[in-house]
Chain A
Amino acid sequence: MTAQPSPRPPGGAVQEWIEKSLAQVDTVLVGKRHQVEQAMACLLAGGHLLIEDLPGMGKTVLSQALARTLGLSFNRIQFTSDVLPADILGISVFDRDGGAFEFHPGPVFAQVLLADEINRTSPKTQSALLEAMEEGQVTVEGATRPLPSPFFVIATQNPSTQAGTYPLPESQLDRFLMRIELGYPDPAAERDIIRGIDRRVLLDQLEPCIDGTQLGAMQQLAAEVRLSDALLDYVQRLVQHSRKDPACAWGLSPRGALALVRAARAWALIRGRQHVVPEDVQAVLPAVVEHRLREHADHGSSSGEALAQRLLAVVDVVN
C-alpha cells in the first residue's frame, strides 16, 4: 500500500502502544479485530461510539476491555425505560453532618461510559446523556461540572425493530462519530465462550497498556495526520455525491464530512501512517456515514448501509 515507511517517532512509540492495546483487547474479544480497530479509531479521534447489535454479542466486553487497556476509569449505566436524568448525572443529597447539600456524582463522571441499551430509555434521559457528550460537562442544580478527560461514551443499542425501544432521532445519532455492528463471533471464539471461559474473568486480568497522558498524546497525534489536497477532493466528492444522489433523502452535513476526516485520520494513525490515504476513508466511511444517511422514500427501504456502499462504489477516488 505504501511504498515508503511512514515516519516513526513519536509515531514509533505510538505505533507500539496501539499495537499492544489492540492485541490485548483481541484476547478478550476474539476475532473482532476490525471492530476493535474501529472502536480504537473512534476513541483516538475523540468521538463517541454507537454499537448496534443484538443483546449478548460482546458489546459490554468490548467497551470494558478498551477502558481497562487504556487505563481509563469505567462506568456503566444500564438504561431502562424508568431511568431518569438524575440517575445518570448525579444528585445533591443533604449531608446531615456537614449541614449542607453534597453532590453525589452520577455514573456519567467516568472516562469511559458504557451506556447500555440507550434506546430503551425515554427521550428525556437520552438527551441528558447526549448533552453531556456534546458539551463535555454537565449542569446539575445550577452548577456546571466538567466531565473527566478524555470522555468517551460507548452507547449500545438494540436494533430498533426490537420491542420496547425509543429510536434515537437523527440529530442525536449525529453526535456519534461512528456506529458499528459487532456481528456474531467467529466459530473459534464462540467455541471458547461456550466451553465456559468466562469473559468477565479475562477482563479482570487485563492490565492497562498506556496511561491517560499517553492517550492524550495519541489523540493529539491523530488530529495532526496529514491530509493531501487530492484526499480532500475525494472527501468532498463523497459528500457532494451524497447530496446529489436521488437515492439519499438528504446528504451529509459539513459535520458529517468533518467526522469522516477525523475518523480517517485516526484510522491512518492506527495503520501507522502520518498521512491519510483513500483506503482509510473507505475503511471508516460505512461506520461514519451509515447512521447519518437515510434512503429516499422512493427508493425502497434499505438502510444507510446500502447508501454507504453505493458511495464507495460510485465516487471516483481520483477524479
Chain B
Amino acid sequence: MNRGVIEQIPRSALALMLLSQAVVIAPHVPRMAPWTLAFWGACVLWRISIYQGRWNYPGTWTKGAFVILAIVGVGMSHGIQFSLEPAVALLILALALKLLEMRTRRDALVVIYLGYFVIATQFLFEQSIAITLYQLIAVVTVTGALVALHQSWNRPHSRASLRTAAVILLQAVPLTIVIFVFFPRIAPLWAVPMPESSATTGLSETLTPGSITQLGRSSELAFRVEFEERTPAMRTLYWRVITYSEYEEGTWTPGSLLELRDPPVHWTGGGSEPAWLREVQPEDRPIRYSIVAEPTFQPWLFALDFARPLTRGTGIGRDFRVLHRGPVTQRFRYEVESRPARLDLGLSEWHRLRETALPERGNPRTRQFVAELAGEHPQPRALADALMRHFATQPFFYTLNPPPLGRDGIDAFLFETRRGFCGHYASAFVYAMRLVGIPARVVGGYQGGEYNPVGDYVAVRQYDAHAWAEIWIDGEGWVRYDPTMAVAPDRIELGAQAAFAGNAEEAAYGRFTGQGLWRRFDWLAEAYYFIDSLQHRWNVFVVSYDTSRQNRFLRDLLGELTPMRVGLAAGAAAGVAVLIALLGGVPGILARRRPPLLRFHDAFARLFERTGSPRHPSETPGRYARRLALRYPEVEEDVEVLGARLEDALFGPQADDNGDLPEALDSRFRLLRLKFRLMQLRLRRAFNPRGDDRGRLV
C-alpha cells in the first residue's frame, strides 16, 4: 500500500460503519428530535449513493449549508441554553455529516472514533445493566468497523471482522476490570450540564390535597435500602423526606429552614453538634442501613427516624430529615444509623409559634368540631387518639381519586366527602391539632417498601409515597400519628402494592395494575426480584464505585494503603489479567508450537529474508537454497548443502517423524550464519565506505 495515496474504504468496512452508527445512535433516539434521525438517514443514503458512484461528494457550499442547518435545527429543537441533549444531538449530527466527507482511511478513522465517543455519552443519561450490555455490543460493532478498515480488499465478509473485534474485546476484559478497580477516580475537571429530564417523584415541595383529584402513581424506583441486620417490619418503615410546617389556603409548604435559628443543618463530620441535636435522646439499639437513592434533583434524602447519616456530604436538618449538599443529580449511596428516639426535648417559643400557626379564619365547622372534642379530651394525647378514633369509626374512605375540595377544604373533607388519600388525612389531622394550639406538622415521605428476598433489600417506589402527622407533646417531643392507618390499615400493614392489588381501583392505574397482576405468578415474581437485585448490585458495586468506595475496597484487600502497595497490587493484577487474556490463546499457541526442524527452517529463511530474498511459499528448502546460491556465490556451497539437508530431513527417506534437528545440521547452520554475516559486512563496506547508510545488499 502506498502511503500518501488516497486509500479507498473497503466495502465491508463501510457497511460495518453504517451498521455501527445505527447501533450507536439507537439508544439516543428517545431524546432526539425526529428530524435528527431523518438527517442522519439522508446522510447515510447519500453516502451509499457515493459508494455506488451515483452521486458525488457534496461541495464545500453544500457542506457549509448542512452544518448551518444542523446548528440552527438543534437550536430550535432544544433551545439556546447549553445542556447535554443539544450537545449530544450536535455530536450525532457531526457523526452523520462526517460520513459525507469521508474519502480516505484517515477520515474513516475519525468517524469510527466519534462512534466510540457517542457510546460514552450514552452513559451520561443511563447506567443500567441493560444499557451497558447493549453498549458492549455497540463497542463490538464499532471495533468491527475498525478491524474491517484495516483488512484488505479481498476480505468480503464483515462477519469475520465482527468476530475478530469480539475476540479482541474479550481479551481486553480482564485488563479492563483491573483498570476499573485500580485506576484513581479523579474528580471531573469540568462540569457536564445534567440531563434536562427531571425525575418523577411522588413527593413535591408543596402539598395541596384539595386540588388533587387523581394521585399519580408511578412504579419508578425511589431508593433501595439494605439493612445490616434483620429487615424491620414494613409497617414500622416511615421514610422521612420532608416536613410541611406552613399552611396557607389549603396548601402545606415546608417553610424556609433559614428561618430557624442555630445551624439549620448539621453536616456529617462538620464540627460539634448543635444544641437541638444534643437534646435528642436516642433509645434502643441502632439500626444501620445503607441506601442507594435514585436521582431526584432535590437535596432531600431518605431515612427512618431518628437518623444520623454517616456518609460525608450528607447532614441532618433541624426537622430531622436527612439532606444532601446540593441536588442529588446522580445515583447516590449513603449510610445511616437510625434509632427510635425521643425527638427534641425542648421546643423554643418561636418554634412553637411556627408549628402552631394557622390562618385565622376558615373551616368553621372544623373549628367548632375540634373545640368540642378538645372539651372532652383536654390532654394532647387524648385529643389525638380521639381524632384517630373519629377517622376509624366514621365512614371515611381511602381513595386515590378523591373529589375536589373547594374553599374550606378541611371542612369539606371532614364533613362532606370523607374520601381522600394520606395527604388529606394528615393535613386535616395537623390542622385540627394546631387549632387547639398543639404544635403539629405534616411529614412527607415514603412508607414501607417492597422486600426483595433474592437481594435481601427493600425497594421503595414512588407509589409508596406517603404523608403522616407529627405532634409535639411536652416532655416527650415529636410523636408520629398516622391517621391513614386508622382509615386503611392495609395500606400500612401490607404496603401500597398489596393494599391495592385486587382492589376495584386497580383498573384506573394501568402500570400499577399490570404489576399487581403478574406478581401473582410465583416464578415471574422470582424473576422480577432477581433482575431487580441484579440491578441493585450493579448500582452498588459498579456505578457508585467512587473514590471512597475504591479506598475502602482496596483497604479491605490490602490493609493500609501506601502508594507502593497499591502500585504493586495493580501491577500484579494487570499481569494476571494479561496472563488470562494470553491463556485464552494458549491452546492455539500449543497447537502451533513448531517442531525444532521447522523452527530451524524458519531461522534459515529469516536469515536471507532480511536481505531481500524472501522465500516464496511454494519453494521447498532445496529450491530456495539453489536460488540463494545463485545470488550469494560466496556462500553457495554452504547454502546449497544446508538446503538439501534440510529438505532431506523434512521430506527425505529418513525424515524424522518427530521433527528433531540433526546435530550436524545445526552446527553447519551456525557456520553459515557467521559466514553470511561477514559477507554482508564486507559488502556493506565495499558499497558504503563511510558506513553511514543503512542500505541493504544489492
Contact = CB atoms under 8 A, between A and B. Distances in A.
A235 to B, nearest CB: 12
Interface string B108-140: 000000000000000000000000000000000
Nearest to A279: B620
Nearest to B617: A316
A125 to B, nearest CB: 41
Contacts of B601: 318
A318 B650 contact: yes
A6 B652 CA distance: 9
B406 interface: no
B653 A7 contact: yes
B659 interface: yes
Given A3-B644, A3-B645, A4-B648, A318 B653 contact: no
A235 B616 CA distance: 17
A228 interface: yes
A313 B616 CA distance: 8
A276 B618 contact: no
Contacts of B651: 228, 230-231, 275-278
Nearest to B647: A277
B652 A313 contact: no
A229 B655 contact: yes
B650 A228 contact: yes
A314 interface: yes
A246 interface: yes
A275 B618 contact: no
A228 B652 contact: yes
Interface in B612-669: 616-623, 641, 644-645, 647-648, 650-653, 655, 657, 659
Interface in B284-300: none
Interface in A256-298: 273-279, 282
Interface string A215-226: 000000000001
A276 B651 CA distance: 7
B156 interface: yes
A77 interface: no
A231 B648 CA distance: 11
B659 A230 contact: yes
Contacts of A228: 650-652, 655, 657
B659 A229 contact: yes
B569 to A, nearest CB: 42
B277 interface: no
B488 interface: no
B516 to A, nearest CB: 57
A318 B644 contact: no
A306 interface: no
A277 B619 CA distance: 11
Contacts of A226: 653, 655
A1 B659 contact: no
B653 A6 contact: yes
B598 interface: yes
Contacts of B598: 230, 318-319
A56 B650 CA distance: 44
Given A3-B644, A229-B659, A246-B156, A313 B653 contact: no
Contacts of B653: 4, 6-7, 226, 273-275
A299 to B, nearest CB: 9
Contact of B617 (A7, A230, A275, A314): A314
A282 B156 contact: no
Contact of A2 (B154, B597, B644): B644
Please tell me the size bucket of the interface on B: 20 to 34
A317 interface: yes
Interface residues of A, number: 28
Given A275-B653, A276-B651, A317 B619 contact: yes
A128 interface: no
Contact of B620 (A246, A277, A313): A277
A129 interface: no
Contacts of A317: 617-620
A147 interface: no
A182 interface: no
Nearest to B658: A229
- Among B616, B641, B644, B647, which residue has the most Cβ atoms of chain A within 10 A? B647
Contacts of A315: 617-618
Contacts of B655: 226, 228-231, 275
Interface string A33-77: 000000000000000000000000000000000000000000000
A279 B601 CA distance: 17
A316 B615 CA distance: 10
Contacts of A2: 644, 648, 652
A246 B647 CA distance: 31
Contacts of A274: 653
Contacts of B644: 2-3
- Among A273, A274, A279, A314, which residue has the most Cβ atoms of chain B within 10 A? A279
Given A3-B645, A246-B156, A317-B619, A229 B652 contact: no
A312 interface: yes
Nearest to B626: A1
A67 to B, nearest CB: 33
Nearest to A318: B601
Given A3-B644, A230-B659, A318-B650, A278 B156 contact: no
- Among A1, A4, A229, A273, which residue has the most Cβ atoms of chain B within 10 A? A229
Nearest to B619: A317
A277 B618 CA distance: 12
Interface string B524-556: 000000000000000000000000000000000
Contacts of A3: 641, 644-645, 647-648
Contacts of B645: 3
Contacts of B622: 1, 277
B329 to A, nearest CB: 53
B659 A312 contact: no
Contact of A275 (B157, B641, B652, B659): B652
A319 B614 CA distance: 14
A228 B653 CA distance: 8
A228 B650 CA distance: 7
B567 to A, nearest CB: 42
Nearest to A314: B617
B652 A318 contact: no
B617 A313 contact: yes
B652 to A, nearest CB: 6
A2 B657 CA distance: 19
B299 to A, nearest CB: 63
B156 A313 contact: no
A306 B32 CA distance: 54
19 contacts: A1-B622, A4-B648, A6-B653, A228-B650, A228-B651, A228-B655, A228-B657, A229-B657, A230-B597, A230-B659, A246-B154, A275-B651, A275-B652, A277-B620, A277-B622, A278-B651, A312-B618, A313-B617, A318-B650
Interface of A: 1-4, 6-7, 226, 228-231, 246, 273-279, 282, 312-319
The 4 tightest CB contacts between A and B, nearest first, are A228-B655, A3-B644, A316-B617, A230-B650
Given A1-B623, A3-B647, A277-B647, 4 more contacts: A4-B648, A229-B657, A277-B652, A318-B601
